[in-house]
Amino acid sequence: MKPAPLPRRTLGRTGQQSTIVALGGITLMPMERDDAIRLTHEAIDAGVNHLDVAPTYGDAQAKMGEVLRSRRNEVFLACKTTKRDAEGARLELEESLRLLSTDHIDLYQFHALDTEEDLEQVCGAGGALETFLQAKERGIISHIGLTGHYPLMHMRTIARISEVDTVMFPLNFRTLDTTLAPGMLMEQARK
């Protein structure tokens, strides 16, 4: 008996219907190459259609790229950069494309955008936002996202960068409190 397909949800403003389980490239980092390749194939075979990776995940991009050579059209590919300047972001994007064996990334994200200083640099003259917008205009990336650890910082970022389509952050239900209530977040973001 074939298992039921994985449920899907709309991912932010992308229109993408991503499976509720994604393959995070960080899990490939400590694995031997052949095991990482096998796991990636198994995830796709099981119906996972969303892969997420970053240059900071060691050799995970190269391992994932081995699979993407033949299966790129089966997945929504998300990647990230911690570079805050345009040139650094451009170089890292080009290297990610090479390692991932693809000519486009579906979702390119500002990774760990956690401080006002990061946001100022990203949005300023010569900032990484310039690279993101140029890459989107050229069809190299389809959507822009951000990741980080502080919801209030996310609110400030999306208030400033209207092109952000997705936000990713860790959520720990043990420490969740009312300060994360959406109304309070919006109020804090306006300050």
Confidence of residue 2 (pLDDT cuts 50, 70, 90): confident
Query: What confidence score (pLDDT) does residue 184 get?
Result: 47
Q: Which of 81, 79, 98, 93 has its CA nearest to residue 25?
A: 79
Which tens digits make up the pLDDT trace of 96-118? Answer: 999 999 999 999 999 999 999 99
Query: What confidence score (pLDDT) does residue 144 get?
Result: 98
Q: Which of 23, 37, 14 has its CA nearest to residue 106?
A: 14
Confidence of residue 130 (pLDDT cuts 50, 70, 90): very high
Mean pLDDT score, 122-139: 98
Which tens digits make up the pLDDT trace of 3-54? Answer: 789 999 999 999 999 999 999 999 999 999 999 999 999 999 999 999 999 9
Question: CA triplet 51, 66, 139: central angle to 5 degrees?
Answer: 55
The least confident of 118-122, 137-141, 175-179 is 175-179
Instruction: Please report, rounded to a whole number, the percentage of residues in the chain having pLDDT higher than 70.
Output: 90
Exposure string for 98-136, b = 16+ CB within 10 A, e = fewer: ebbbbeebbbbbbbbbbeeebbebbeeeebbbbbbeebe
Distance CA 40, CA 171 (A): 25
Query: What confidence score (pLDDT) does residue 4 get?
Result: 86
Question: What is the overall mean pLDDT for the chain?
Answer: 92
Mean pLDDT score, 135-150: 96
Q: Which residue has the tokens 């190299």?
A: 140
Query: What confidence score (pLDDT) does residue 175 get?
Result: 54
Query: What confidence score (pLDDT) does residue 121 get?
Result: 98
Query: What confidence score (pLDDT) does residue 174 get?
Result: 55
**Is residue 188's pLDDT more than 60?**
no
Single pTM value for the model? 0.90
